[in-house]
Amino acid sequence: MAEVEEKDNTWIIVGVAIASIVLLVVLLKKDETKHLQSGAVAQLQSETFSKIEKRHTSNNSTAEQISGK
């Protein structure tokens, strides 16, 4: 009697798992960088830096201002 050999699907399962993980990473990375394309980040950075610079210059008092002249 010939024995029936069971098919080993281990490598197929591993291949499908790897492919699905790669696809998931690509899709999530695309979604993660979507907000960078709108330019909102650059606008917020420029506003933030201008406010920091304004605050920095307004906190620097001259010697005349300190003495009350």
Render pLDDT for 9-66 as a digit per residue (tens, 0 to 9): 999 999 999 999 999 999 998 877 776 666 777 788 888 988 888 877 766 666 566 6
Q: What's residue 22's pLDDT? A: 97
Q: In angstroms, how far apart are the furthest CA atoms of the chain?
A: 112
- The 8 Å CB, 24+ separation contacts for 52-59 are none
Q: What's residue 43's pLDDT? A: 83
Return the closest-CA partner of residue 11 out of 1, 19, 2: 19
Q: What's residue 60's pLDDT? A: 61
**CA 18: distance to chain centroid?**
23
Separation CA 44–CA 35 (nearest Å): 12
Separation CA 38–CA 42 (nearest Å): 9
